[in-house]
Structure 1
Amino acid sequence: MKIDRFRSAWGIARGPNMNNWAQWFPELKAQGYSGVEVDIHPLEPSRDFPRLRELCDQTGLELGLMIHSSWFQYLGPRPAGTKADHHLQNYRSLLKSVQQLKPSTMNFQSGEDLWDVEESIKFYKGTIEIDSELGISGRVYHETHRNRSLFTPYATRRILEAVPELRITADFSHWMVGCERVLDLSEGDTVMMDAIIPHVYHIHARIGTTQASQCPEPTNPVFKEEKECFERIWKDIIRSRVKDGATKRIVFVPEYGPFPYHPIGSAKTHSQVADEEGQRLQVLFSDFAATLNDA
């Protein structure tokens, strides 16, 4: 099992003609990142997509994409009355558009939290059909995220029972703060997480707390309980992917973002936290995967 680390570009200004990224990408490569994960929605496809692909080719970085099925960049109020069919139209159109970028991973924040589970199931069944039509089955992951259909572990489990082929991105920081508890201590929570973990193929490795979706100092002893919970769950994900025998690698993203995710007055910037956690977790995950490969 190969463990690859991508860096989120969240909160890092592109600069004119992406010149800031042109300086930053080689630094990422030097730090040991295999790729960069970019939100496509602020980009203008005809101008920015070729430039982004060029920068990745020049630096040897793979490209991961962050895509929304609606309410792009969360600008303005949430669009009213949008249902599965509307999201599926966006989904197909966006996936067609981004193929020119030759992405290694495609992560969707998809659906809506106000839908009933049946509407979400309809949507995700539709995404599986579109993935097949476009020849990208198994390459799209749907993120566990507030505001979206996978906003709680309860809804997610019911959706996965109905759409078992769905592959998800684990950003369980959203669930910990939403549920206001550590997620793997009670028997009921453990059973629930055990049912969900086999569907995870991509990890947003951000430590959250029971009161915030982003921990400003993950190695501070005050966050010991949350840190240990996330590390147990992430190891379970790696174990699950090794066990299936078909997955050759898993990508994780130390996805720490700027304010308001990152508290004002923090001792370190969100970028410092992301890079330090990325390096720490690279060792933790790779060493753990090696024990499984040797078993």
Structure 2
Amino acid sequence: MTIQFFCPRWGSDALNWETFGQKVSAAGYNGFEVGITQATTTAQLQEIWSVAEKFNLRIIIQHHDTNETDYAKHYDIYSAWLEKVKGMPCVKINSQTGKDFFSFEQNAALIAVAEKVSAQSGTLIVHETHRNKFSFASHITQQYLTKLPDLKLTLDISHWVCVAESFLENQQEAVQLALNRAEHLHARVGYPCGPQVPDPRLPEWQQALNTHLGWWDKIVARKRKEDTLLTITPEFGPYPYMVQVPASSNAVAHQWDINLYMMELLKKRYY
């Protein structure tokens, strides 16, 4: 089994690509995860891949911005996005797919389009567990995983913890199914009142951290048996995910430092 770590571009958007690439490489990441939209220009794409090549970094493409509420339009926009990125060289594509208010059949049709593009391109497309997408809750995602045997996930279980207002103690069957189908991991720690603890390094958040580590351990154990690649993006985010001191713009912790801490913690645990 190989584990590769990816730095989120999210939160470092203010850095130019050259500086970002150098910083990511120096920190010991294998690559970075970057959102690409329909508005991303050819020149911007060339810059992204140029920096990746210069610093010997791999890329995970992220989809996050199809928010059209009219389903027919949503389907067309998402399909066009998949066509835009399907020839791009990347490790895999991480897609925040569909909407929580679309029907099962509608969301399943979006997943089917992604599977078709994945087959055409040879690039694995994984669907992120995320609030307001088809995969917003464990018990709902369980239905998709049961009926769609080829569906693979990016597991960001912090969202499910937040949605369920629990550590999912009563949803173990759904969680286990998701652990069995996870191919990419967003290593963010949630708690019952939010998708991101303020600082996983502090004693008061150790229960949340250890609960997530227990889930991740099971994914790693499975991938060891399969002897296949596991990709991990430590994905603690900036404001509003990162809590700020009231009446100020000062974050209670530094996003970059926390993500680096998470990578080093997981490297020590799994290497």
Same fold (TM over 0.5): yes
> Structure 1 residues 154 and 278 mapped into 2: Cα distance closer, same or farther (>3 Å)?
same
**Which of 142, 150, 154 pairs up with 1:169?**
154
Correspondence 1:108 to 2:90: no
What amino acid sits opposite 2:146 in the alignment? Answer: E
Deviation at 1:241, TM superposition (A): 2.2
Q: How many angstroms apart in 2 are the aligned matches of 1:30 and 1:56? A: 13
Deviation at 1:14, TM superposition (A): 4.7
Structure 2 alignment gaps of length 5 or more? 246-250
Counterpart mapping for 1:102-181 below 5 A: 102-132=89-119, 134-136=120-122, 139-181=124-166
Contact 1:43 1:49 in 2 (8 A): no
Corresponding residue for 1:2? 2
Q: How many angstroms apart in 1 are the aligned matches of 2:85 and 2:38? A: 13
Counterpart mapping for 1:69-88 below 5 A: 70-71=66-67, 79-83=68-72, 86-88=73-75
Q: Secondary structure at the match of 2:71?
A: coil
Deviation at 1:98, TM superposition (A): 2.1
Corresponding residue for 2:222? 240
Q: How many angstroms apart in 2 are the aligned matches of 1:225 and 1:94? A: 39
Task: Name the Cα RMSD after superposition.
Answer: 1.9
What amino acid sits opposite 1:140 in the alignment? Answer: I
> Structure 1 residues 44 and 118 mapped into 2: Cα distance closer, same or farther (>3 Å)?
closer
**Which of 35, 41, 63 pairs up with 2:37?**
41
What amino acid sits opposite 1:109 in the alignment? Answer: Q
Counterpart mapping for 1:1-295 below 5 A: 1-14=1-14, 20-41=16-37, 44-68=40-64, 70-71=66-67, 79-83=68-72, 86-99=73-86, 101-132=88-119, 134-136=120-122, 139-183=124-168, 185-186=169-170, 189-243=171-225, 245=226, 247-265=227-245, 266-286=251-271
Q: Secondary structure at the match of 2:121?
A: coil
Of all paired residues, the percent bearing the same amino acid is 23
Q: Say how many residue pairs are matched.
A: 266
Contact 1:69 1:111 in 2 (8 A): no
Q: How many angstroms apart in 1 are the aligned matches of 2:109 and 2:52? A: 36
Structure 1 alignment gaps of length 5 or more? 72-78, 287-295
Q: Secondary structure at the match of 2:200?
A: coil
Q: Tell which deviates more after alignment, 230-239 or 112-121.
A: 112-121
Q: How many angstroms apart in 2 are the aligned matches of 1:68 and 1:164? A: 23
Contact 1:111 1:149 in 2 (8 A): yes
Deviation at 1:100, TM superposition (A): 5.0
Deviation at 1:80, TM superposition (A): 3.1
What amino acid sits opposite 1:82 in the alignment? Answer: Y
What CA deviation, in whole Å up to 9, does each residue of 1:67-121 have, x standing for no partner? 13612xxxxxxx33225xx444333322332245411121000100001223222
Q: Secondary structure at the match of 2:214?
A: helix
* TM-score of the aligned structures, taking structure 2 as reference length: 0.91
What amino acid sits opposite 1:171 in the alignment? Answer: D
* TM-score of the aligned structures, taking structure 1 as reference length: 0.84
Q: How many angstroms apart in 1 are the aligned matches of 2:5 and 2:140? A: 29
What amino acid sits opposite 1:45 in the alignment? Answer: T
> Structure 1 residues 70 and 178 mapped into 2: Cα distance closer, same or farther (>3 Å)?
same
Deviation at 1:217, TM superposition (A): 1.0
> Structure 1 residues 43 and 35 mapped into 2: Cα distance closer, same or farther (>3 Å)?
farther
Q: Which aligned runs of 4 or more in structure 1 are off by greater than 6 angstroms? A: none
